[in-house]
Amino acid sequence: MDNFLKPLALAAALALAPAASNAGDWAPPGPITMMIGFAAGGGADTQARLIAQGIEAKYGWKILPQQVTGNSGLSLAAELAKAPADGTAIGMVVSESLTYSALAAGDPNLQLDKFTPLATTASFELGLVAMADGAFNSWDRVAEAAKAGTPIRFGIASDRQADVAYLFGKSAGIDFNIVPVKGGAGVMNGLRGGDIDIGWVAGAQSKAVQQGEMVNIASGIPAKLKDSPDAPTITDLGSTFYLDGYFMFIAPGNLDPAAREALGAAINDVLNDPATEAHALVAKGFGGADVITGEALDTKMKTLLDNAAELLEKASAN
């Protein structure tokens, strides 16, 4: 081959090859089972499946998604704990599963130190949500109604959300009627159906807020919400606690560091590539990718674990 054409041929071959360089030399010894701790068809489930699709396209690794739902992500954790720690089994949960939920359950086999955190995908854009045309479409209206003796039905989708709602109410002098529902979709359905008045939603409300159907009356995280930058944070309103957290992937404990690094890098590559469907979905519905891996993720999870322990202690004392 002509010496001038050789570099062009090499470049073309590299362009067609799976882009596995960022994952190092590690590759899974077989198909990867991706357990998904969220209901089929929801935003988090779609996010996980698009990440799987992106990894397959970029790296050529076979990924088999399957639903393992229930018990605030601990059903998935229990299954994952029995899987081989060789990179062929991973799971998507929320950080709350291995912090607040694991501590509350008290099962030593389901604690954070029994798993390997791989990567976060997106941080919670968690807001306190109401219908835009309803009677509780601002915090001031909620406070005024409560002062007048109007019951406020507060939708929550987890025990952690219930504890923060309860303590938030105490700090604001409001005795909320806390209503458990199934997931953020359940909160939104309850708002639409008039069964609840306000409720926590962790990003799924974005489209409804952008379209003017719903409104974030407060931010439940330590930052302003991207869709509602003027909404106060709940600590501005008297809460001691936030509901910050992440969607994330985990693996069984004692995973080979090379496998951990490669899997984290693959997730990061897919989410931060503007050409992937996963990137587009997370940008549109979850406030954008927020990927943390390695030691930085270990530090973040330790902080969330400490915060969860403090919340559990405070809630049990009241």
Q: Do domains 31-123+245-316 and 126-219 have the same CATH topology?
A: yes
* Overall average pLDDT of the 248-273 stretch: 98
Residues sharing a CB contact under 8 Å with residue 211, sequence separation 6 or more, in sequence order: none
What does the pLDDT read at residue 295? 97
pLDDT mean over 281-293: 92
Spell out the CATH class of 126-219. Answer: alpha beta
Tell me the C-alpha distance between 203 and 200, whole Å: 9
Q: Please give the backbone phi and psi of residue 80, each rounded to the nearest 5 degrees, phi first.
A: -65, -35
Confidence of residue 22 (pLDDT cuts 50, 70, 90): low
The span from the first CA to the last CA of the chain, in angstroms, equals 79
Residue 175's pLDDT is what? 94
The pLDDT of residue 276 is above 50: yes
Please say if the pLDDT value at position 300 is more than 50: yes
Q: Rounded distance, CA 318 to CA 314, Å?
A: 7
Confidence at residue 164, expressed as pLDDT on a 0 to 100 scale: 97
pLDDT digits (tens, 9 = 90+) for 184-224: 889 999 999 999 999 999 888 988 999 999 999 999 999 99
> pLDDT band at 318, cuts 50/70/90?
confident
What is the Cα–Cα distance from 91 to 96, expressed in whole angstroms?
Answer: 14
Q: How is the chain split into domains, by residue range?
A: 31-123+245-316, 126-219
Task: Give the pLDDT of residue 8.
Answer: 38
Nearest to 18 by CA among 62, 59, 61, 63: 59
Q: What are the DSSP calls for 22-91, one per residue? A: GGTT---SSPEEEEE-S-TTSHHHHHHHHHHHHHHHHH---EEEEE---GGGHHHHHHHHTS-SSSSEEE
Kind plus residue range of the DSSP H or E element containing 248: strand 246-252
Comparison of pLDDT for 94 and 286, the residue scoring more: 94
* Options 2.160.10.10, 3.20.20.100, 3.40.640.10, 3.40.190.150; CATH of 31-123+245-316: 3.40.190.150
Mean per-residue pLDDT for 4-13? 39
How confident is the model at residue 184, as a pLDDT?
87
**pLDDT grade, residue 67 (50/70/90)?**
very high
pLDDT at 203: 85
Which pLDDT belongs to residue 45?
94
Q: Give the tens place of pLDDT for each residue, 219-238.
A: 999 999 999 999 999 999 99
Asked whether residue 13 carries a pLDDT value surpassing 70, the answer given is no
Which pLDDT score is estimated for 75? 97
What are the two backbone dihedrals, phi and then psi, of residue 284, each rounded to the nearest 5 degrees? -80, -40
Q: What is the pTM of this model?
A: 0.85
